[in-house]
Amino acid sequence: MNWGMRSGRRGNKAIKKTPSSPEDLPDKIIVTDVLDLHGFFPEQIPEVMDAFLENALELGIREVRIIHGKGSSRLKFEVISILKVDERVVRFGDAPPFEGGWGATVATLIEL
């Protein structure tokens, strides 16, 4: 099953594969305590974060890690702006160095 963007080589031309139909999508999505935002546009972050935090709480996950990367910090800015005002978040800060350092944010969620 091929899904997501893949690149390969055929001769000197790069080829890219993207899902052509819903059948190409995975049957299951495994929810963990980590959200990797690489590949998302800043405008998508609020919706993705809301769903991620809601799912984490429903699954009883109290600490989550959000990977936004170190780049221009635009994604990090979006993440922090959301976490500052979200009532489900108790505290947050940069991840420890072995979990991404300032390229990821760790947040503690409320207990339900």
Model confidence pLDDT, tens digit, residues 88-103:
999 999 999 999 999 9
- State which residues form the domain around 42: 26-109
Q: Are 89 and 33 in contact (CB under 8 A)?
A: no
Q: Using 50, 70 and 90 to split pLDDT, how confident is the model at 68?
A: very high
Is the pTM for the entire model greater than 0.75? no
Residue with tokens 């052509």: 20
The three-state secondary structure class of 77 is helix
Average pLDDT over residues 81-89: 97
Task: Please report whether residue 81 resides in a domain.
Answer: yes
Report the distance separating Cα 10 and Cα 93, nearest Å: 44
Amino acid at 79: V
Strands of the 34-36 sheet, one edge to the other:
34-36, 63-67, 104-109, 89-94
Which CATH number does the domain housing residue 51 bear? 3.30.1370.110
- The separation between the first and the last C-alpha atoms of the chain, rounded to the nearest angstrom, is 38
- pLDDT value of residue 31: 75
Task: Please report whether residue 36 resides in a domain.
Answer: yes
